[in-house]
C-alpha cells in the first residue's frame, strides 16, 4: 500500500479514475481536523482552498494510511507525507474543475439541489429531507452553505470531466487481445547466480600486500572497521546453566508452593555436591537447554528475563543462585564463566581487516571473471547450461513464470531486467548478458515457452479491456493535468502556502 501511495502523482490521478461514480459522496466526508481560519491555503486560478476543505481531504488520506498500516501508523512520522499528498490531490481536483469549465461543462442549480436532496443521512423518521440537520452539518463541516455548494459543484465538474475523458479512452479489441497474449504467456527458465560477496577459499595471507593496503588505502580499512563495529565492541558476557521448574500462569497458591518446594529440592541437591548438569537433565523443564545440562551458552545483558539477567550478572562464577522467579517459573542459576567487556581498537585489528579487504576483492574479481567467461561461452554458441557446468556453477530451474511488474522469481528475487530479456528469448536460447541483482550476478536461459490459452484470453477479455481503458484514461489525465499545472504555475495562478499547511 505504501509503495502505491508514495508514487504520488499517478496514484492521485488513479483516485479520479476509480472514483468516477462516487466523487459527490467522497466530497461529503467527515469533518476536517484543521481549525477554522480565513486564509486560503491553496489558490488555483479562481479557486481558493481554505482549511475546512483541505482538512477534509487530509483526514481522508490519513484514514487510508491508518487502514493500510494499522497499529504501525504514526501520525507524526507521516505528517509531512500526508501534507504533500493532500496538497497534490487538492490541486489536481481544482485544476480538473477549471478545465471542465473551460470545456463548457456546468452544474445547473437544479442538478445540485437534486443531489443534495438524495443524501440519505439527512432523512427524518418520515423519510423527508431534514433541512435543519443538513444546515447544522454544513455549518460544522464547511463553515457556510455557500462554501458547501461551491465545493460540491467542483466535485460534480470533476466527475463530468472524467466522463468526457473516459469517452476518449478507446481500446480496440486487437489491443486487448495483444495485451492478454503478452500477460498470459509463460516461460520456464534456468539461471546461474554468482555472489560477488562470497569468500574466496584458499586465499593466502600476504603480509607485504597487507602493508601496502595500510599504506595506501587506510581509509578503506577504517570504513570496514566502522561497518563491523559490533564485532570489536563486545560487552560483558556470562555463560550460565539453569534449572527451570515451570509455574503455570493460572496456578493457585497451593500449586505454586508445591512447585517452589520442588525447585528448592533441586537447588539443595546441587548445594549438597551433585553435578549441576546432571540435576538439570533430570529436573529442568526448559526443553531446549535440558539436554545440554541446562547450558545457555554466553549471553549479554538484556537477553534474558530481567530478574534472571540481574542475578546471572551479579553472582560470581562457580556460584549457585537463590531461587529466581520469572514469568516462566523458578530458576536455579549456575554461572560457569564471565567475559569482561572488550573493545578492540582499530590498531588491534587493522591488519586482519586489510586481509579481509584483499580477500573480498579477490573473491569479487574472480566472480566477475567467471561470469565473463560464462557470458563469452554463451556468446560463442554454448547454452548457459553447458557454460555454467563447465565453470562448476549451480543451475536453478524455475517453474512456469508469467510477466510481473517487479520481475520477481523465486530464489532470485526482484529481477525485472532479467525477466524482460528472458521473455524476448526463444525456447532453448540463452542470453549473454550478465544481470546485477544486489551483490549477485545472474545469467539466464529459456527452457520452454507456452503461449496464452485462448480460453483464458476469452475469460479475461472484458476485465482486461476495462484495465487498459482506465490505464489510458490515467495517462490522458496525467498529461492534461501536468500541462495545465505547469501553465498555471508559470502564470502565477497556482499558489500553495506550505507554511500555513505545515502549521
pTM here is 0.58
pLDDT digits (tens, 9 = 90+) for 429-441: 999 999 999 889 9
C-alpha cell at 451: 503461449
**Burial status of residue 481 (CB atoms within 10 A of its CB: 0-12, 13-18, 19 or more):** buried
- Look at residue 39 in the predicted model and tell me its pLDDT: 65
76 vs 124 pLDDT, higher one: 76
Percentage of the chain modeled with pLDDT above 70: 92
The 3-class SS string of 337-395 reads EEECCEECCHHHHHHHHHHHHHHHHHHHHHHHHHHHHHHHHHHCCCCHHHHHHHCCCCC
With cut-offs at 50, 70 and 90, classify the pLDDT of residue 120. Answer: low
439 vs 383 pLDDT, higher one: 383
Closest CA to 312 of 285, 294, 292: 294
Q: What is the dihedral of CA 116, 118, 119, 125, to 10 degrees?
A: 120
- Look at residue 196 in the predicted model and tell me its pLDDT: 83
Q: What is the mean pLDDT of residues 409-427?
A: 93
| CATH number assigned to the domain covering 236-340 | 3.10.50.40
CA–CA separation, 138 and 17 (whole Å)? 27
Closest CA to 13 of 89, 81, 84: 89
- Look at residue 410 in the predicted model and tell me its pLDDT: 87
Q: Domain 2-171+473-502 belongs to what topology? A: Triger factor/SurA peptide-binding fold (1.10.4030)
CA–CA separation, 435 and 444 (whole Å)? 9
CATH 3.10.50.40 domain position(s) in the chain: 236-340
Between helices 51-69 and 131-142, what is the axis angle to 10°? 90
* pLDDT of 19 over the 90 cut: no
CATH 1.10.4030 domain position(s) in the chain: 2-171+473-502
The distance of Cα 429 from the centroid of its chain, to the nearest Å, equals 35
CA–CA separation, 8 and 481 (whole Å)? 14
pLDDT digits (tens, 9 = 90+) for 229-259: 888 888 999 999 999 999 998 999 999 999 9
The answer to whether the beta carbons of residues 56 and 31 sit under 8 Å apart is yes
- Look at residue 172 in the predicted model and tell me its pLDDT: 93
- Average pLDDT score, the chain: 87
With cut-offs at 50, 70 and 90, classify the pLDDT of residue 97. Answer: very high
Closest CA to 402 of 459, 470, 450: 450
With cut-offs at 50, 70 and 90, classify the pLDDT of residue 82. Answer: very high
Closest CA to 295 of 234, 237, 243: 243
- Look at residue 116 in the predicted model and tell me its pLDDT: 81
Residue 105: partners with Cβ closer than 8 Å, 6 or more residues away: 157, 160, 161, 164
> CA angle at residue 250 from 249 to 254, to 5 degrees?
110
With cut-offs at 50, 70 and 90, classify the pLDDT of residue 403. Answer: very high
| Lowest mean per-residue pLDDT among 71-85, 109-123, 460-474 | 109-123
C-alpha cell at 365: 574479481
* pLDDT of 21 over the 50 cut: no
- Look at residue 27 in the predicted model and tell me its pLDDT: 33
Q: What is the mean pLDDT of residues 371-391?
A: 97
DSSP 328: T
CATH 3.30.1300 fits 184-201+378-450, yes or no: no
With cut-offs at 50, 70 and 90, classify the pLDDT of residue 37. Answer: very low
* pLDDT of 425 over the 90 cut: yes
Please give the full DSSP string across 130-194, using - where no structure is assigned.
-HHHHHHHHHHHHSSHHHHHHHHHHHHHHHHHHHHHHHH----HHHHHHHHHHHH-EEEEEEEEE
- Look at residue 28 in the predicted model and tell me its pLDDT: 33
* pLDDT of 6 over the 70 cut: no
Percentage of the chain modeled with pLDDT above 90: 63
Q: What is the dihedral of CA 210, 215, 216, 221, to 10 degrees?
A: 60
Q: Which residue has the cell 546485477?
A: 436
- Look at residue 25 in the predicted model and tell me its pLDDT: 30
Compute how many other C-beta atoms are within 10 angstroms of the C-beta atom of residue 287: 8
- Look at residue 445 in the predicted model and tell me its pLDDT: 98
167-178 in b/e burial notation, b at 16+ Cβ within 10 A?
Answer: eebebeeeebbe
The answer to whether the beta carbons of residues 444 and 453 sit under 8 Å apart is no
DSSP 35: P
Q: What is the mean pLDDT of residues 465-473?
A: 93
121 vs 42 pLDDT, higher one: 42
Please give the full DSSP string across 217-257, using - where no structure is assigned.
-HHHHHHHHHHTHHHHEEPPEEEEEEEEEE--TT--HHHHH
| Lowest mean per-residue pLDDT among 193-207, 429-443, 481-495 | 193-207
CA–CA separation, 33 and 14 (whole Å)? 25
Query: Where are the alpha helices (H) located in 19-78, listed in sequence order?
Result: 23-27, 51-69
Amino acid at each position: 500500500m505504501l509503495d502505491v501511495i508514495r508514487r504520488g502523482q499517478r496514484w492521485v490521478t488513479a483516485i479520479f479514475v476509480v472514483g468516477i461514480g462516487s466523487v459527490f459522496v467522497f466530497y461529503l466526508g467527515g469533518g476536517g481536523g484543521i481549525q477554522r481560519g480565513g486564509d486560503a491555503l491553496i489558490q488555483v486560478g479562481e479557486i481558493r482552498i481554505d482549511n475546512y476543505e483541505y482538512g477534509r481531504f487530509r483526514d481522508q488520506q490519513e484514514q487510508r494510511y491508518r487502514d493500510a498500516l494499522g497499529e504501525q501508523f504514526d501520525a507524526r512520522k507521516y505528517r509531512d507525507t500526508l501534507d504533500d499528498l493532500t496538497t497534490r490531490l487538492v490541486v489536481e481536483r481544482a485544476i480538473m474543475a477549471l478545465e471542465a469549465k473551460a470545456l463548457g461543462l456546468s452544474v445547473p442549480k437544479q442538478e445540485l439541489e437534486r443531489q443534495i436532496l438524495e443524501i440519505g443521512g439527512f432523512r427524518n423518521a418520515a423519510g423527508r429531507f431534514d433541512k435543519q440537520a443538513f444546515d447544522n452539518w454544513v455549518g460544522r463541516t464547511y463553515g457556510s452553505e455557500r462554501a458547501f455548494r461551491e465545493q460540491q459543484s467542483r466535485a460534480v465538474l470533476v466527475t463530468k470531466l472524467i466522463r468526457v475523458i473516459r469517452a476518449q479512452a478507446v481500446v480496440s479489441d486487437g489491443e486487448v487481445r495483444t495485451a492478454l497474449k503478452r500477460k498470459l504467456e509463460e516461460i520456464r527458465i534456468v539461471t546461474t547466480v554468482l555472489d560477488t560477496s562470497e569468500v574466496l577459499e584458499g586465499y593466502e595471507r600476504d603480509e607485504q600486500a597487507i602493508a601496502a593496503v595500510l599504506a595506501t588505502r587506510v581509509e578503506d580499512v577504517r570504513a570496514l572497521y566502522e561497518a563491523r563495529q559490533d564485532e570489536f565492541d563486545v560487552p560483558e558476557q556470562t555463560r550460565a546453566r539453569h534449572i527451570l521448574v515451570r509455574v503455570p500462569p493460572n496456578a493457585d497458591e497451593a500449586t505454586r508452593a508445591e512447585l517452589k518446594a520442588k525447585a528448592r529440592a533441586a537447588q539443595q541437591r546441587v548445594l549438597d555436591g551433585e553435578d549441576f548438569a546432571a540435576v538439570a537433565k533430570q529436573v529442568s523443564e526448559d526443553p531446549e537447554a535440558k539436554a545440554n545440562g541446562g547450558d545457555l551458552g554466553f549471553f549479554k545483558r538484556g537477553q534474558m528475563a530481567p530478574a534472571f539477567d540481574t542475578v546471572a550478572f551479579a553472582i560470581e562464577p562457580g556460584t549457585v543462585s537463590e531461587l529466581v522467579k520469572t514469568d516462566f517459573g523458578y530458576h536455579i542459576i549456575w554461572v560457569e564463566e564471565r567475559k569482561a567487556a572488550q573493545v578492540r581498537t582499530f590498531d588491534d585489528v587493522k591488519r586482519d581487516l586489510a586481509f579481509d579487504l584483499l580477500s573480498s576483492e579477490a573473491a569479487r574479481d574472480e566472480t566477475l571473471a567467471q561470469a565473463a567467461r560464462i557470458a563469452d561461452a554463451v556468446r560463442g554458441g554454448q547454452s548457459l547450461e553447458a557454460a555454467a557446468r563447465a565453470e562448476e556453477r549451480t543451475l536453478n530451474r524455475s517453474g512456469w513464470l508469467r510477466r510481473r511488474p517487479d520481475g520477481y522469481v523465486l530464489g532470485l528475487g526482484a529481477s525485472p531486467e532479467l525477466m524482460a530479456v528472458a521473455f524476448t528469448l526463444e525456447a532453448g536460447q540463452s542470453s549473454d548478458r550478465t544481470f546485477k541483482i544486489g551483490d549477485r550476478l545472474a545469467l539466464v536461459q529459456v527452457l520452454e515457452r507456452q503461449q496464452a490459452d485462448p480460453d483464458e484470453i476469452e475469460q479475461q477479455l472484458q476485465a482486461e479491456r476495462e484495465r487498459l481503458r482506465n490505464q489510458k484514461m490515467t495517462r490522458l489525465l496525467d498529461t492534461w493535468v501536468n500541462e495545465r499545472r505547469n501553465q498555471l504555475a508559470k502564470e502565477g495562478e497556482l499558489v500553495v502556502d506550505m507554511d500555513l499547511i505545515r502549521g
